[in-house]
Amino acid sequence: MALPHADDRDLIAADISAYLEKQTSKELLRFITCGSVDDGKSTLIGRLLYETRQIFDDQMAALEADSKKIGTQGTNIDFALLVDGLSAEREQGITIDVAYRFFSTSKRKFIVADTPGHEQYTRNMVTGASTADLALLLVDARNGVLEQTRRHSILAQLVGIRRVVLAVTKMDLVDNDQGLFEAIAADYRSFAERIGIDEWIAIPVSGLTGDNVAGQGEAMGWYSGPTLLDHLESVPIDSAADQAKPFRMPVQWVSRPDQHFRGFAGQVAAGRVAPGDEVRILPSGRIGQIERIVTRDGDLDEAVAGQSVTLTLTQEIDCSRGDVIAAVKDPPHAADQFEATIVWMADEPMIPGRGYWLKLATQTATATVAHPKHQLNVNTLEELAAKTLDLNAIGVAEVTTDRGIVFEAYKDAHGGPPNRTLGGFILIDKLSNATVAAGMLHFALRRAENVHWQALDVSRETHARLKGQKPAVLWFTGLSGAGKSTIANLVEKKLAAMGRHTFLLDGDNVRHGLNKDLGFTEADRIENIRRIGEVAKLMADAGLIVLTAFISPFRAEREMVRRMMAEGEFFEIFVDTPLEEAEQRDIKGLYAKARAGELPNFTGIDSPYEPPESPELWIDTTKLSAEAAAETIVERMMEFEKR
């Protein structure tokens, strides 16, 4: 079995409670290993586990057996097999997924994330780096600093890792050459200076022999610096610096076990707080005072960054999940437009203008990303022009949310650890729920602070009352040739004959004016629908019944428009026609041109149409005539007005 360190065994025998308390109170260092393919990351972590006595007897026996069967070190133990848990990793001898391992010494506890080196798994590396205090960057002594070395250094710097260890591995394969080690360190030094990495150290190591991992090796007697483990045990940890920042705690949950208790649960992201402190609730700006700091083990006199607590206030103040409790004199800001660095992590490219879920701390909002200002070339650090971001691309773009969110700049203004909780975010695809990007906020755009809603004396309710009707948006969607415009036109005529105030926005007509600058790429289609949605919203605010006839092929954009409207005023009408039928009705010859390759990005041919999943009305044009469909829709509108 794995044995405790020698200086702990006597304490265990004398007082097991004191030993457990000692383990609990140890500092925790989180770090990642990263670098290029086959730089020896897994072998080095395996050696660390071995040297710190973290391997049980049965694990050791299994490791020895696996080393003989599938190892890459001949008759020697292959320490990489301790970490490469996926069968695909073991078969190929590479790391694919992020593997987390815990180990401890007498001085400190550690969680290490072994991240993949392949470029196509850069997104996995970002995941591992998101909570790390230090990056252990491995460089194969035979290859020196490579493109992936620079990429991972930039990513580490972007996510706020301030301390780097350059572990020059496999020194045993280059005869422990001092000159080669110093040349690699000098090469990395010039690159680190360019990207702003100041706190770094180079250590020559051999994961296979253990030299300079936990103890000095005779083979590299020329090296007089610390071993890798010595450095990991002594490097400063960011958590202490976080406690010196102003207090912030995002609210995760409102605890209301009975009518006598109402508390706000969350993890303290920065600073410290004590009963009696005044705090500000954001984004509302209301001020309250801390009454108690409640935990499972009893009330605390003070809570600091990293602790999970429940706070109660002396006043009854509206506060819910997503709000932020902060220091009253130094609160964060709220805005809805930002500049941000984005690391794209999805196979499909970013679509400017599309709505994604943005999650920042406990806040969730709909966000759209503009065309990138530039994309970063990780080799030259050039800022390149780009229309979108592909897998593993890093760029700077403006992000707009549908409501104000509480934030801080990711990079600390005073050179301290990054504001990860209120400065870092992820983007989630609304259809697949897959995380597609990670981002770091720079600042709020000035227009977000300078443009305000103007209060108007004549409300949308007044407009509707003057017209004697309920405003609504009838959103006709379907393939080209399905009959959307024909049916919408008939519906408007019938409503007008009944004295209703209407307006029809037709796809072709709008592209002659408002949207004549847009093409038919996926990004332009999204912007087309966004603009139409905004116009339809203004018309509905004026009390009109708005009819729109657009292909609007993507569910996410139709849902975006639905959220723009008042509750219950959006009616999605799916004009369902089989593709074959739509082609037969095509008097303009558009489908024939699309099939001949003359019309690229044509919906139904080489661009997808995503049918509604639960529309308010489903019109099957193979069973209903245009006149009958219009009657059905008008009847539904009359029912709506009677509610």
DSSP 371-401: SPSEEE-TTT--EE--SS--TT-EEEEEEEE
Burial letters 350-371, b for 16+ CB under 10 A, else e:
bbbbbbbbbbbbbbebbbbbeb
Q: What is 584-602 written as a DSSP string?
A: HT-TT-HHHHHHTTSSTT-
**Two tokens at 210?**
């253990």
**Cβ(252)–Cβ(266) below 8 Å:** yes
Tokens of 92: 């190929």
Q: Which of 42, 552, 607, 625 is catalytic?
A: 552
State the Cα–Cα distance between residues 208 and 70, nearest whole angstrom.
16
Amino acid, res. 643: R
The pair of three-digit structure tokens given for residue 288, joined into one six-digit string = 């309250």
Helix (H) or strand (E) holding 17: helix 16-25
552 is catalytic: yes
Q: Quick count: other Cβ atoms within 10 Å of Cβ 380?
A: 10
Distance of alpha carbon 290 from alpha carbon 299, whole angstroms:
12
CA 352 → CA 16, 347, 356, 445, 611, distances in Å? 59, 15, 10, 18, 22
SS3 for 415-444 is CCCCCHHHHEEEEECCCCCCEEEEEEEEEE
- Tell me, what DSSP letter sits at residue 174? G
Residues whose CB is less than 8 angstroms from the CB of residue 152 and which lie 6 or more positions away in sequence, other chains included: 34, 35, 122, 125, 135, 137
- Among 175, 95, 108, 91, which residue's Cα sits nearest to residue 138? 95
Residue 544 near residue 503, CB atoms below 8 Å: yes
Q: Distance (Å, rounded) from C-alpha 173 to C-alpha 73? A: 13
Distances in whole angstroms, Cα of residue 109 to Cα of each of 72, 105, 114, 163: 30, 6, 16, 18
Taking Cα atoms as reference points, which of 116, 104, 190, 196 lies closest to residue 148?
Answer: 116
For residue 367, give both structure tokens: 């966000």
Torsion 292-293-296-297 (CA) sign: negative
291: Cα separation from own chain's centroid? 34
Residues comprising the chain, all counted: 643
State which H helix or E strand residue 177 sits in: none
Backbone torsions φ then ψ of 138, nearest 5 degrees = -95, 140
CA dihedral 150, 154, 160, 166 (to 10 degrees): 10
Positions marked catalytic: 552
